Amino acid sequence: MPRVTVAAVQAAPEFLDRAATIDKVIALAEEAASRGARLVAFPEAFVPGYPDWVWRTRPWDDTASTLYARLLEQALVAASPACDALAEAARRLGIWLSVGATERDPAGSTLYNALLHFAPDGRLAGRHRKLMPSGGERLVWGAGDGSGLTTIDTGFGRLGGLICWENYMPLARSALYAQGIDIYLAPTWDNSDVWIPTLRHIAREGRTYVIGVTACLRATDLPEDLPGRAALYGGAEDWLSRGNSAIISPAGDIIAGPLAGEEGIVCAEIDAEVARASRQQLDVVGHYSRSDMLRLTVDATARAAVTFRRDDAEPPARPSAGSAAPSREAAPVPGQPASRHAGKR
């Protein structure tokens, strides 16, 4: 298995501007690829920006509602021109591209905190929706199902991840360990001192590389016309997130980063064979498990609130008006049956 370079991109989004943020993702992915990265990871909800206001507004005041409406409008729809642009960038650069996004179904009004994995062949190879938002996040994001708890074989290791405080869900982590995860992504907004120890613990527990990736922005990075900006945000000293991106070895050692207080690309060389060999010492889903007495069952089915049964099979839906690239439009989103799309249109 080849040793490869992986990159965690710590950056500021173009806040609540999907198109401009995607342009920035592509430009930074190009830069990371030019430095040899075969996997480039972006922070939690990077497109179109983490809804930081949930921690600053009263839950239902007018500013919060207005900002929510803008987030809904600027959210990413899987299988849409915006999503295709990311997929095309992955294909053109020949990289695995993992991007955190606020995402919704084509006809849906509920937003999800999703981690999307684009393959070097331009496929959307994986999508995980955060299972449990934290605190104020619960007012803007729904909860995903178990269908996104997957790992993907990249050819240089099995890739997967959990989002922010999902990383404190021992059973969700176990589901990924059981699928042989070698490269564990942990996009987050958590800036606390304890976050890095958590990344190190997960690396040791799963004997996996861990890539923590965090946004970096301050109030002056927000657009002037952001509703409620003057009331909610200050100046250059008002950090929304300082960042703490880091890459950890399967032994729990920090091998790159943590980077804080500035944008940058954190790179490290990884070797999945090292992770796998280190499981001689500890394999929590193998020789260090007790399946005779501790047994976990995971419901990994995709669950729609409404399932349609029809007499006539419909052609696959066109997920988004004006989408070009018909061949990819018809492709199902990973973990989501094509029929679910069909039913919704």
Helix (H, G, I), strand (E, B) or coil at 343: helix
CB of residue 322 to another protein, shortest distance in Å = 36
CB of residue 177 to another protein, shortest distance in Å = 8
Beta carbons within 8 Å of 41's beta carbon, 6+ residues apart: 6, 7, 8, 9, 98, 99, 185, 187, 211, 213
Query: Between 259 and 278, how does the x/- string for binding to another protein read (CB under 8 A)?
Result: --------------------
Site for another protein in 191-230 (CB under 8 A): 192-194, 196-198, 200-202, 204-205
Query: Between 117 and 156, how does the x/- string for binding to another protein read (CB under 8 A)?
Result: --------------xx-xx-------x-xx--x-------
CB atoms within 10 A of CB 94: 10
Residue with tokens 């905190």: 113
Residues annotated as catalytic (active site), given as ranges: 44, 130, 164
Instruction: Using CB atoms within 10 Å of the CB of residue 217, give its burial: 0 to 12 exposed, 13 to 18 middle, 19+ buried.
Output: buried
For residue 255, state whether it binds another protein (rule: CB under 8 A): no
For residue 165, state whether it binds another protein (rule: CB under 8 A): yes
For residue 305, state whether it binds another protein (rule: CB under 8 A): no
Nearest of 51, 42, 43 to residue 16 by alpha carbon: 51
Q: What φ, ψ does residue 59 adopt, rounded to 5°?
A: -55, -40
For another protein, the binding residue among 65, 110, 220, 281 (CB under 8 A) is 281
Cα distances from 94 to residues 6, 78, 130, 254, 309, in angstroms, run 13, 20, 27, 27, 40
Instruction: Using CB atoms within 10 Å of the CB of residue 262, give its burial: 0 to 12 exposed, 13 to 18 middle, 19+ buried.
Output: exposed
Q: Which is nearer to another protein, 74 or 134 (CB)?
A: 134
Q: Report the alpha-carbon distance of residue 112 to residue 117 in Å, rounded.
A: 15
Q: Which is nearer to another protein, 287 or 345 (CB)?
A: 287
Q: Which is nearer to another protein, 299 or 312 (CB)?
A: 299
Name the site residues for another protein (rule: CB under 8 A). 131-132, 134-135, 143, 145-146, 149, 165, 168-175, 177, 192-194, 196-198, 200-202, 204-205, 251-253, 281-282, 284, 287-290, 292-300
